[in-house]
Chain A
Amino acid sequence: DAKTTQPNSMESNEEEPVHLPCNHSTISGTDYIHWYRQLPSQGPEYVIHGLTSNVNNRMASLAIAEDRKSSTLILHRATLRDAAVYYCILRDLSNSGYALNFGKGTSLLVTP
Protein backbone atom coordinates (compact mmCIF):
# COMPACT_ATOMS: atom_id res chain seq x y z
CA ASP A 1 0.00 0.00 0.00
CA ALA A 2 1.19 3.49 -0.79
CA LYS A 3 2.19 5.47 2.32
CA THR A 4 1.41 8.99 3.41
CA THR A 5 3.56 11.37 5.46
CA GLN A 6 2.03 14.06 7.66
CA PRO A 7 3.45 16.39 10.31
CA ASN A 8 2.86 15.10 13.82
CA SER A 9 1.19 18.30 14.99
CA MET A 10 0.14 21.75 13.88
CA GLU A 11 -1.26 24.76 15.64
CA SER A 12 -3.66 27.40 14.43
CA ASN A 13 -5.47 30.42 15.77
CA GLU A 14 -9.23 30.41 15.82
CA GLU A 15 -10.92 31.90 12.73
CA GLU A 16 -7.75 31.64 10.65
CA PRO A 17 -7.29 29.28 7.69
CA VAL A 18 -5.42 26.04 8.27
CA HIS A 19 -3.44 24.15 5.64
CA LEU A 20 -2.73 20.54 6.56
CA PRO A 21 -0.12 18.96 4.24
CA CYS A 22 0.20 15.34 3.19
CA ASN A 23 2.95 13.76 1.11
CA HIS A 24 2.24 10.60 -0.87
CA SER A 25 5.09 10.30 -3.35
CA THR A 26 4.37 6.62 -4.16
CA ILE A 27 0.70 7.18 -5.01
CA SER A 28 -0.62 5.06 -7.86
CA GLY A 29 -3.06 6.04 -10.56
CA THR A 30 -5.89 4.14 -8.85
CA ASP A 31 -5.41 5.64 -5.39
CA TYR A 32 -8.05 7.99 -4.05
CA ILE A 33 -6.96 10.51 -1.41
CA HIS A 34 -9.22 10.48 1.62
CA TRP A 35 -9.19 12.69 4.69
CA TYR A 36 -10.78 11.71 7.96
CA ARG A 37 -10.56 13.38 11.33
CA GLN A 38 -11.03 12.13 14.85
CA LEU A 39 -12.27 14.47 17.54
CA PRO A 40 -11.38 13.66 21.14
CA SER A 41 -13.28 10.65 22.50
CA GLN A 42 -15.09 10.04 19.21
CA GLY A 43 -14.77 7.73 16.24
CA PRO A 44 -13.24 9.12 13.05
CA GLU A 45 -15.43 11.10 10.66
CA TYR A 46 -15.13 11.53 6.92
CA VAL A 47 -13.96 14.95 5.79
CA ILE A 48 -13.34 14.87 2.04
CA HIS A 49 -11.84 12.80 -0.77
CA GLY A 50 -10.45 13.37 -4.25
CA LEU A 51 -8.62 11.75 -7.14
CA THR A 52 -7.05 14.40 -9.36
CA SER A 53 -8.99 17.64 -9.19
CA ASN A 54 -9.36 20.00 -6.25
CA VAL A 55 -12.52 19.37 -4.24
CA ASN A 56 -14.70 21.49 -1.99
CA ASN A 57 -17.44 20.57 0.45
CA ARG A 58 -19.10 22.18 3.43
CA MET A 59 -16.34 21.07 5.78
CA ALA A 60 -13.14 21.73 3.86
CA SER A 61 -11.28 21.96 0.57
CA LEU A 62 -8.79 19.49 -0.82
CA ALA A 63 -5.99 20.78 -3.03
CA ILE A 64 -4.17 18.07 -4.98
CA ALA A 65 -0.80 18.71 -6.60
CA GLU A 66 -0.63 18.28 -10.35
CA ASP A 67 1.69 15.27 -10.03
CA ARG A 68 -0.55 13.92 -7.22
CA LYS A 69 2.47 13.34 -4.99
CA SER A 70 1.10 15.66 -2.33
CA SER A 71 -2.17 17.19 -1.19
CA THR A 72 -3.37 19.80 1.27
CA LEU A 73 -6.51 19.84 3.36
CA ILE A 74 -7.73 23.39 3.85
CA LEU A 75 -9.99 24.46 6.69
CA HIS A 76 -11.06 27.96 5.70
CA ARG A 77 -11.80 29.27 9.19
CA ALA A 78 -10.65 27.10 12.06
CA THR A 79 -12.91 26.85 15.07
CA LEU A 80 -12.22 25.29 18.45
CA ARG A 81 -14.37 22.36 17.35
CA ASP A 82 -11.89 21.59 14.56
CA ALA A 83 -9.26 20.51 17.09
CA ALA A 84 -8.73 16.87 16.16
CA VAL A 85 -6.34 14.37 14.62
CA TYR A 86 -6.49 14.60 10.84
CA TYR A 87 -5.66 11.54 8.78
CA CYS A 88 -4.61 11.54 5.13
CA ILE A 89 -5.29 8.11 3.65
CA LEU A 90 -4.82 6.55 0.23
CA ARG A 91 -7.44 4.06 -0.88
CA ASP A 92 -6.87 1.86 -3.89
CA LEU A 93 -9.89 2.12 -6.15
CA SER A 94 -8.99 -1.17 -7.83
CA ASN A 95 -9.68 -2.90 -4.54
CA SER A 96 -13.41 -3.48 -4.30
CA GLY A 97 -13.23 -3.33 -0.55
CA TYR A 98 -12.74 -0.37 1.73
CA ALA A 99 -9.81 -1.00 4.08
CA LEU A 100 -8.35 2.25 5.40
CA ASN A 101 -4.76 2.50 6.68
CA PHE A 102 -4.93 5.48 9.00
CA GLY A 103 -1.31 6.12 9.89
CA LYS A 104 -0.43 8.56 12.69
CA GLY A 105 -2.15 11.66 11.38
CA THR A 106 -1.66 15.31 12.30
CA SER A 107 -2.88 16.55 15.65
CA LEU A 108 -4.36 20.02 15.13
CA LEU A 109 -4.48 22.40 18.05
CA VAL A 110 -6.72 25.44 17.70
CA THR A 111 -6.19 28.28 20.12
CA PRO A 112 -8.63 31.11 20.84
Chain B
Amino acid sequence: KAGVTQTPRYLIKTRGQQVTLSCSPISGHRSVSWYQQTPGQGLQFLFEYFSETQRNKGNFPGRFSGRQFSNSRSEMNVSTLELGDSALYLCASRTGRGSYEQYFGPGTRLTVT
Protein backbone atom coordinates (compact mmCIF):
# COMPACT_ATOMS: atom_id res chain seq x y z
CA LYS B 1 0.00 0.00 0.00
CA ALA B 2 1.44 3.37 -0.97
CA GLY B 3 2.29 5.79 1.82
CA VAL B 4 1.27 9.40 2.27
CA THR B 5 2.46 11.48 -0.66
CA GLN B 6 3.01 15.21 -0.70
CA THR B 7 3.59 17.52 -3.63
CA PRO B 8 5.66 19.40 -4.33
CA ARG B 9 8.58 18.29 -2.21
CA TYR B 10 10.38 21.61 -2.45
CA LEU B 11 9.07 25.09 -3.13
CA ILE B 12 10.53 28.58 -3.19
CA LYS B 13 8.19 31.56 -2.98
CA THR B 14 8.49 35.29 -2.47
CA ARG B 15 7.02 37.29 0.40
CA GLY B 16 3.44 38.30 -0.28
CA GLN B 17 2.72 35.40 -2.63
CA GLN B 18 0.40 32.54 -1.82
CA VAL B 19 1.09 28.83 -1.98
CA THR B 20 -0.95 25.63 -2.17
CA LEU B 21 0.42 22.31 -0.94
CA SER B 22 -1.13 18.96 -1.72
CA CYS B 23 -1.42 15.73 0.23
CA SER B 24 -2.69 12.32 -0.83
CA PRO B 25 -3.41 10.08 2.16
CA ILE B 26 -2.99 6.34 2.36
CA SER B 27 -5.80 4.59 0.52
CA GLY B 28 -8.77 4.11 2.85
CA HIS B 29 -7.68 6.80 5.29
CA ARG B 30 -10.31 9.46 5.86
CA SER B 31 -8.49 11.75 8.30
CA VAL B 32 -5.77 14.13 7.17
CA SER B 33 -3.78 16.43 9.44
CA TRP B 34 -1.24 19.12 8.66
CA TYR B 35 1.77 20.15 10.74
CA GLN B 36 4.42 22.83 10.43
CA GLN B 37 7.98 22.07 11.51
CA THR B 38 10.57 24.79 12.11
CA PRO B 39 13.89 24.69 14.00
CA GLY B 40 12.63 27.23 16.53
CA GLN B 41 9.07 26.05 17.20
CA GLY B 42 9.39 22.37 16.42
CA LEU B 43 6.38 20.43 15.15
CA GLN B 44 3.14 22.38 15.47
CA PHE B 45 -0.35 21.19 14.61
CA LEU B 46 -2.15 23.22 11.94
CA PHE B 47 -5.48 21.48 11.33
CA GLU B 48 -7.22 18.16 10.86
CA TYR B 49 -9.86 17.17 8.34
CA PHE B 50 -12.16 14.19 8.44
CA SER B 51 -14.70 13.46 5.72
CA GLU B 52 -14.25 16.93 4.23
CA THR B 53 -14.90 18.69 7.57
CA GLN B 54 -12.34 20.51 9.67
CA ARG B 55 -12.33 18.86 13.09
CA ASN B 56 -9.46 20.59 14.85
CA LYS B 57 -7.48 23.75 14.27
CA GLY B 58 -4.19 24.81 15.78
CA ASN B 59 -3.13 28.27 16.83
CA PHE B 60 -2.21 29.70 13.45
CA PRO B 61 -3.42 32.91 11.75
CA GLY B 62 -6.21 32.87 9.21
CA ARG B 63 -3.66 33.05 6.39
CA PHE B 64 -3.36 29.31 6.83
CA SER B 65 -6.30 27.37 5.49
CA GLY B 66 -7.05 23.94 4.21
CA ARG B 67 -9.64 21.74 2.67
CA GLN B 68 -10.33 18.10 2.03
CA PHE B 69 -11.93 16.60 -1.03
CA SER B 70 -14.38 13.72 -1.30
CA ASN B 71 -11.52 11.34 -2.19
CA SER B 72 -9.79 12.36 1.10
CA ARG B 73 -7.01 14.22 -0.67
CA SER B 74 -6.22 17.48 1.07
CA GLU B 75 -4.71 20.83 0.24
CA MET B 76 -3.43 23.56 2.47
CA ASN B 77 -3.06 27.16 1.40
CA VAL B 78 -0.96 29.94 2.85
CA SER B 79 -1.75 33.44 1.64
CA THR B 80 0.40 36.56 1.90
CA LEU B 81 3.53 34.59 2.66
CA GLU B 82 5.93 35.87 5.31
CA LEU B 83 9.58 34.94 5.84
CA GLY B 84 8.57 33.12 9.02
CA ASP B 85 6.42 30.72 7.01
CA SER B 86 9.57 29.02 5.77
CA ALA B 87 9.24 25.52 7.15
CA LEU B 88 8.72 21.85 6.48
CA TYR B 89 5.00 21.19 6.10
CA LEU B 90 4.01 17.66 6.99
CA CYS B 91 0.82 15.88 6.15
CA ALA B 92 -0.38 12.85 8.08
CA SER B 93 -3.27 10.48 7.62
CA ARG B 94 -5.10 7.87 9.64
CA THR B 95 -8.08 5.66 9.03
CA GLY B 96 -10.43 7.78 11.13
CA ARG B 97 -12.36 7.41 14.35
CA GLY B 98 -10.77 5.08 16.85
CA SER B 99 -7.44 4.75 15.06
CA TYR B 100 -4.33 5.44 17.11
CA GLU B 101 -1.60 5.53 14.49
CA GLN B 102 -0.97 8.50 12.30
CA TYR B 103 1.16 8.06 9.19
CA PHE B 104 3.26 10.98 8.01
CA GLY B 105 4.39 11.94 4.56
CA PRO B 106 7.89 13.17 3.70
CA GLY B 107 6.84 16.81 3.83
CA THR B 108 7.05 19.85 1.58
CA ARG B 109 9.99 22.14 2.22
CA LEU B 110 8.79 25.74 1.70
CA THR B 111 11.31 28.55 1.51
CA VAL B 112 10.04 32.14 1.49
CA THR B 113 12.48 34.78 0.24
The DSSP consensus for interface residues of chain A is loop
Least CB separation from A87: chain B residue: B43
B87 in contact (CB, < 8 A): no
User: With A and B bound together, what is the CA distance between A82 and B99 in angstroms?
Assistant: 25
CB distance from B39 to the nearest CB of A (A): 11
B55 pairs with A97, CB closer than 8 A: yes
User: With A and B bound together, what is the CA distance between A29 and B4 in angstroms?
Assistant: 32
A98 pairs with B48, CB closer than 8 A: yes
Chain B interface residue number, banded: 20 to 34
Total A-B pairs in contact (CB under 8 Å)? Answer: 57
B106 pairs with A99, CB closer than 8 A: no
A44 pairs with B100, CB closer than 8 A: no
A66-103 CB mask vs B (1 if < 8 Å, else 0) is 00000000000000000000010000000111111111
With contacts A97-B56, A99-B45 known, is A34 near B100, CB below 8 A?
A: yes
A98 pairs with B31, CB closer than 8 A: yes
B28 in contact (CB, < 8 A): no
Name B90's contact: one of A44, A95, A98 (CB within 8 Å): A44
Given A32-B100, A42-B106, A98-B102: 4 more A-B contacts, CB < 8 Å: A96-B97, A97-B56, A103-B42, A104-B42
Name A's B-contacting residues (CB within 8 A).
32, 34, 36, 38, 42-46, 49, 87, 95-105
Contact sample, A vs B, 25 pairs, CB 8 Å cutoff: A36-B102, A38-B43, A42-B104, A43-B105, A43-B106, A43-B107, A44-B43, A44-B104, A46-B103, A87-B43, A95-B56, A97-B50, A97-B56, A98-B33, A98-B56, A98-B94, A99-B33, A99-B56, A99-B58, A100-B33, A100-B35, A100-B45, A100-B102, A101-B45, A104-B42
